[in-house]
Amino acid sequence: MVETPASVPFLDLAPSTEAVRATVVAGLERLLRSGAFVNGPAVADFEKAYARWCGTGDCVGTASGLDALRLALLAAELQPGEEVIVPALTFVATLEAVTQAGGRPVPADVREDDFCLDAAAAAAAVGERTRFLLPVHLYGQVADVAALESIGPPIVEDACQAHGAVREGRRAGTVGIAAAFSFYPGKNLGAFGDAGGLVTSSDEVARRARALREHGQTRKYVHAAEGYTARLDTFQALVLLAKLPLLDPWNTQRAEAARLYNSLLDGVGDLVLPTPAAGSSPVWHLYVIRTANPDALAESLARRGIGTRRHYPDPVHLTEAYTRLGYGRGSFPVAERLAQEVLSLPIFPGIRDDQLEAVARAVREYFDRG
């Protein structure tokens, strides 16, 4: 008889950490001996490996996903005051990158089926000052980039949740001028701290981004532009190099967990389960269900030791930080409705079937109680 787990954390990094512990410790020993703590050879090694894995010409490692997205916009030559169309349902960093790069974020509504930027809404938001479309491949599902490309403005991708995701044969990171990835510890490919990277097949964008991440330097003490301290740390590059060969099997584990959830939760209560778009292979960064009262369900699961999260309880235009954009409640009805209904269940590499079954059983019992 399989013993029911006492609790199920929302995220458990222990299985993936243990898988690379020996490799990382050996790499750290070499790093301590070399002293190459900044811009060590592991950074260039990871950049080459990740660009090859993504299918792009180059990768520029950065200190965070936000840095990657901000530098992608700057390297693609966003000008002060130009507009960037963003989805109304996303993590706040998408808008932070735009404003910190000197642009103005213009939210547009999202699609109910995949939570991503709606092409019709984006087209309606295009104006004389529009410079880029910035789709977010939310929860690990690639946005409908073919429809977005038909609108006209060039694309910069926020792929921070979509390492390896594919839609209609096109991989996240290969669609736009550049794409940003986050390597925050909980991401599909996660470091042991903050880290990020932008990928591009433009030599010029890569060159500018590489300078911007280090005080605008094109070479030591030659500053072509005002820049930042936004480098990928050598230690984090070592961690990412150790994890990258495991990313495909880890994504497969996530997909298997999502399939089991879909089977166990089909027809339960008022749940709306995530359904991949036709021709899509998401990487299930998050498994996000919809229900009329997600907070009540979350509280019920918490009493059983099951962790959940809300991604995201408020659309960005309703957060205090971006009320200055001038949008009120009702501006983006689909995003607002989804935000009221979403709840993320535990999913991570190494999650066991008995843990998934315990989560599903607790969800069913919540609805059985009415």
Domain assignment present for residue 10? The answer is no
Do the Cβ atoms of 27 and 37 come closer than 8 Å? Answer: no
Are 335 and 278 members of one domain? yes
Are 209 and 329 members of one domain? no
| Residue 269: band (very low, low, confident or very high) from pLDDT cuts 50, 70, 90 | very high
Mean pLDDT of the 254-264 span: 98
First-last CA distance in the chain: 29
Q: Would you state the structure tokens that stand for residue 339, as one six-digit string?
A: 């935000």
Are 238 and 299 members of one domain? no
Report residue 133 CA to chain centroid gap.
17
Collapsed DSSP state (helix, strand, coil) of residue 189: coil
Tell whether the model's pLDDT for residue 6 goes beyond 80: no
What mean pLDDT, rounded, does the chain reach?
A: 97
Are 161 and 286 members of one domain? no
Q: Would you state the structure tokens that stand for residue 301, as one six-digit string?
A: 């699961």
Domain assignment present for residue 6? The answer is no
Mean pLDDT of the 204-230 span: 96
Tell whether the model's pLDDT for residue 271 goes beyond 80: yes
Per-residue model confidence (pLDDT) at position 288: 98
Residues in the chain: 370
Are 217 and 254 members of one domain? no
Do the Cβ atoms of 200 and 14 come closer than 8 Å? Answer: no
Do the Cβ atoms of 167 and 144 come closer than 8 Å? Answer: yes
| Residue 3: band (very low, low, confident or very high) from pLDDT cuts 50, 70, 90 | low
Pairing of strands 280-281, 166-167: antiparallel
Are 59 and 97 members of one domain? yes
Within 8 A by CB and 6+ apart from 155, the residues are 132, 133, 134, 135, 145, 148, 149, 175, 176, 177
Q: Is 216 left (phi over 0), alpha (psi -120 to 50) or beta?
A: left
| Residue 1: band (very low, low, confident or very high) from pLDDT cuts 50, 70, 90 | very low
Collapsed DSSP state (helix, strand, coil) of residue 179: strand
Q: How many domains in the chain? A: 2
| Residue type at position 104 | R
Are 256 and 190 members of one domain? no
Tell whether the model's pLDDT for residue 308 goes beyond 70: yes
Strands (E), the chain: 58-62, 83-87, 104-108, 130-133, 156-158, 166-167, 170-171, 178-182, 196-200, 217-219, 222-223, 280-281, 287-290, 342-345
Are 166 and 308 members of one domain? no
**Share of residues in the chain with pLDDT > 70 (%):** 99
Q: What would the pLDDT profile of 103-139 be if each residue is shown by its tens digit?
A: 999 999 999 999 999 999 999 999 999 999 999 999 9
Domain assignment present for residue 8? The answer is no
Burial status of residue 346 (CB atoms within 10 A of its CB: 0-12, 13-18, 19 or more): buried
Per-residue model confidence (pLDDT) at position 231: 98
| Residue 347: band (very low, low, confident or very high) from pLDDT cuts 50, 70, 90 | very high
Count of Cβ atoms closer than 10 Å to residue 22 Cβ: 10
- The boundaries of the domain holding residue 167 are 15-245
Pairing of strands 222-223, 156-158: unpaired
